[in-house]
Structure 1
Amino acid sequence: MENFQLENKDSIETKACNAIRKAILSGDFPPGKKLVQEQLARQLGISRMPIREALKQLEIEGLVKIEPYRGAFVNEVDTEAIHENYVLRSELEKMALEKAYPFITEKDLADMDSLIKGMDQADHEAFVQTNIDFHHLLLKRCPWKRLSTFIQVLWNGYSQQTPEFLHGQMEKSNEGHKQIVQALKDQEPERASSLLHDHILNTGKRLIAFIEAKDG
């Protein structure tokens, strides 16, 4: 299946989690399907341990249900949970950028420009990783460490893979990045934060529309 394969980034556990999540959200693994660890490990060419840990993470996200003595099964995709994730991200990342703004350097802005240029030329897989790098750089100067931790938890899920599902998402997303960075350069932190808020919220709306259209 084209939507079930490892990506060339992160740990083996994260790769396995991303591959299974992608297969679920794309419909390759339908609701009710039993996810057999040995079979998944064999298909991905890895051991069972990262599969086991990946399934635990996907259970936290609500995509998988692990039943004692029976195994792991694919859940119905909960669009309300996805909506909650993106609403929380939009509000928390808006706040984090406001807090980070006084500490963002000229080098940070130059590095953001470099990442944006890279995303203009990237394929889906490269875009996913560069997009993660961009958002981390955008918020890395935030002095509120608990806030940063909350945001990272929300990032461990759907956020990473939307460019692989949504038609035109890479172009829409990178145009949003350009607008955010320009607002920072113009010394308009409130506008930059509002743009980031809308950038995240609109991505969530497009992802939910994709899932509902696929299931409809």
Structure 2
Amino acid sequence: MSEKVDLRIGNREMLHNQVCSVLRSAILKGDFEPGERLVQTELAELTGVSRMPIREALRTLETEGLVKMEPHRGAVVRPIKKQDIQEIYELRSVLEPLALKKSIKNFSKDDFEALKTYHQSMIENESGEEYVEWNAKFHQLLSSRCQSPRLLGFIGTISRGFAQDTPQIIPGQIQKSNKEHEDILNAILNEDEEKAVEYLTYHISRTGEELLNSLENKDFK
């Protein structure tokens, strides 16, 4: 573990997704090495929470492939593979734009207002956990009206993990994302389905490429 790692985000009760976000980001940034044990008591002390949310977060990270549970060792950091990141973003760049294309005609006035609110909230909160949450809400709503449960299920599975925390990992990601979100939003408001799909595809593909670049010093296989 990096000697300077500081995961504490306040002596308060945290939501499950906040704990996951803190630990996920630390793993992706290399604060924990592949093969390193993640001891619940140590993580609880570092983050300032009880062991219960740590235990639940480790289970979630296991489903995302970032952690594995080993007999007699507990949670251990798994190596991050380049091919995993490439596959996730290749799938996202196909499935999310498809869901958006199917959703646009079903957006209500409330949906338009919600998208504008999420976008504005990201502009006003360009740091920390709040941005991550607004970003997730924005992307979820883009796909949510496609009326295809299987498609939404696939997106939900592959969008966990890397996708949620890129704003905290990629240098300059927040500013770039805000501009790209604005392009997507304006295209939707102007009922330009083709442009909205094009902008979302670019946004996801560009993020995937820059995530790989930001993690290039890690031992990919």
Q: What TM-score do the two structures reach when normalised by structure 1?
A: 0.88
The answer to whether the 8 A contact 1:16-1:54 is kept is: yes
Corresponding letter in the other structure for 2:194:
E
The answer to whether the 8 A contact 1:99-1:142 is kept is: yes
How many residues are paired up? 215
Deviations 1:107-134 (A, max 9, x none): 3223322322222221322221111121
Which structure shows the higher helix fraction? 1
> SS in structure 1 opposite 2:215?
helix
Identity %: 40
Q: What corresponds to 2:215 in structure 1?
A: 211
Matched ranges for 1:1-216 at <5 A: 1=4, 4-6=7-9, 12-125=15-128, 126-213=130-217
The separation in 2 between residues aligned to 1:137 and 1:11, in whole angstroms, is 24
> SS in structure 1 opposite 2:181?
helix
> SS in structure 2 opposite 1:46?
coil
Corresponding letter in the other structure for 1:47:
S
Structure 1 residue ranges (4+ consecutive) displaced by more than 4 angstroms after TM superposition: none
> SS in structure 2 opposite 1:212?
coil
The answer to whether the 8 A contact 1:7-1:19 is kept is: no
CA displacement at 1:201 relative to structure 2: 1.4
Q: What TM-score do the two structures reach when normalised by structure 2?
A: 0.87
The answer to whether the 8 A contact 2:10-2:47 is kept is: no
Deviations 1:83-120 (A, max 9, x none): 11111111111111111111112332233223222222
Q: Which sits farther off after the overlay, 44-53 or 145-154?
A: 44-53
- Mark the runs of 5 or more structure 2 residues left unpaired by the alignment: none
Corresponding letter in the other structure for 2:164:
Q
- Mark the runs of 5 or more structure 1 residues left unpaired by the alignment: none
> SS in structure 2 opposite 1:97?
helix
> SS in structure 2 opposite 1:159?
helix
The answer to whether the 8 A contact 1:6-1:15 is kept is: no
> SS in structure 1 opposite 2:216?
helix
The answer to whether the 8 A contact 1:3-1:19 is kept is: no
The separation in 2 between residues aligned to 1:107 and 1:176, in whole angstroms, is 21
The separation in 2 between residues aligned to 1:137 and 1:95, in whole angstroms, is 13
The separation in 2 between residues aligned to 1:123 and 1:49, in whole angstroms, is 29
The separation in 2 between residues aligned to 1:187 and 1:50, in whole angstroms, is 43
Cα distance change, pair 68–214 in 1 and its aligned pair in 2 (3 A): closer
The separation in 2 between residues aligned to 1:167 and 1:73, in whole angstroms, is 27
Cα distance change, pair 142–3 in 1 and its aligned pair in 2 (3 A): farther
The answer to whether the 8 A contact 2:126-2:174 is kept is: no
